Amino acid sequence: MAGAGRFFEDFIVGDVIRHATPRTITLGDLALNQALYGNRYAVQSSDAFAQGVGYPRSPVDDLVTFHVVFGKTVPDVSLNAFANLGYAAGRFLAPVYPGDTLASTSEVIGVRPTSKGDAGVVWVRTRGTRPNGELVLDYVRWVLVRVAGGRPLPDPVVPTLPAVVDPAEIGGACPRIDASAWDDALSGSARRFDDYQVGEKIDHVDGMTVEEAEHQLATRLWQNTARVHFDGYAQKSSKIGRRLVYGGHVISIARGLMYNGLENAFHVAAINGGRHVAPIFAGDTLYAWSEILDKQTLPGRDDVGALRVRLVGCKDTTPGAFPLKTADGKDDPAVVLDLDLWVLLPR
């Protein structure tokens, strides 16, 4: 049946799924992205600022690229998923501008039935491409998918994934900039790449309360069709009893909050890993904090440097408490998102 989605047994390692529907990203999408997440990064906000440092115009927010590429995969990959387990090896490889069209394909790179046998983990490598085939984003995610039943389950194939994306492989989404033309007053801070220390923790201060209308607008905008986000009637009789907020909505809120303290972190260059630690519902208020895990220069580039940032989203709490793990090593109940990113800053 159309719209019914794949079950665990339908995923064969090596298969490549070409996803519907290609999508042209427009200035309208970017305005909605602004209204949903409140970003203040100067390069993406002002054509004049972007041109001043070397872009032809403001590029698309990297996470818009991510959401557009991701959304297409849902009807084919995760419609029957119990959970979105994680991300790895995410690389933003080419600049994206308003008017660009993106499509997605996903290659099945791993499968592993659970011991209970009612579900299995599926790993896919998703690639976002332009109509000419140029790759703009690729990333791996793995999801726990329902077993349909009545068919033999495959032998496990578990892919090897890097713990962190090699800095030599990032930066493609950021053209060479003229860092000397970067206006710190307009960008909001004089703190650049050299001014951050490994180990530093940053409280992003602000909180953002999520509304049903907001996450639904976002999720439809990105053509993500997972029912748990929209169908309040069916969700009433689910275990969780209500609509779930799309995990990507939480990522973009955290990225928006991150501006307080990382004002010049103008590109998300890679997603080393990530986990939706706990679900978010309408009415929850999101906060975020970051820890600088590493810093690296990029080969051949003296214009920008990369910070490896652990970006932690938490809810209904004081972000300055930097919640992460409880004393016995479990996830702090306030934590909802634990992302590991490379972000770029001017030098």
| Residue numbers 2-41 binding its own copies by CB under 8 A | 2-4, 18-24, 26-32, 34-38, 40-41
SS3 289: strand
Q: Which is nearer to its own copies, 50 or 121 (CB)?
A: 50
Q: Does 114 bind its own copies (CB under 8 A)?
A: no
Give the whole-angstrom CA distance, residue 281 versus residue 104.
28
Sites for its own copies among residues 261-290 (CB under 8 A): 261, 263, 283, 285
Rounded distance, CA 194 to CA 346, Å?
A: 9
Residues in contact with its own copies, total (CB under 8 A)? 80
CB of 169 to its own copies, least distance (A): 27
Whichever of 22 and 86 has its CB closer to its own copies, that residue is 22
CA distances from 241 to 199, 232, 281, 312 (A): 40, 9, 11, 26
Cβ-proximal residues to 84 (8 Å cutoff; 6+ apart), any chain: 78, 141, 143, 247, 276
Tokens 């029912």 belong to 227
The answer to whether 262 and 39 have CB atoms below 8 angstroms apart is no
Query: Cβ of residue 331: shortest distance to its own copies, in angstroms?
Result: 19
Nearer to its own copies, 70 or 259 (CB): 259
Helix (H, G, I), strand (E, B) or coil at 216: helix
From 200, 203, 291, 294, residue interacting with its own copies (rule: CB under 8 A) = 203
One residue of 56, 117, 131, 299 binding its own copies per CB under 8 A: 131
Binding mask 39-68 for its own copies (x = CB under 8 A): -xxx--xxxxx--x-----x----------
Question: How crowded is residue 113: how many other Cβ atoms within 10 Å of its Cβ?
Answer: 18
Q: Which is nearer to its own copies, 65 or 187 (CB)?
A: 187
- Interface with its own copies in residues 306-325 (CB under 8 A): 315-317
Instruction: Choose between 27 and 198: whose C-beta lies nearer to its own copies.
Output: 27
Measured from the CB of residue 168, what is the shortest distance to its own copies in angstroms? 30
Q: Which residues are CB-contacts of 166 (< 8 A; sequence separation ≥ 6)?
A: none
Judged by CB under 8 A, the chain residues 209 through 228 that form the site for its own copies are: 209, 211-214, 216-221, 223, 225, 227
- Per the CB < 8 A criterion, the answer to whether 287 and 206 are in contact is yes
CA distance 195 to 189: 11
> Should residue 296 be labelled a site residue for its own copies when binding is judged by CB under 8 A?
no
Minimum distance of its own copies from residue 31's CB (angstroms): 3
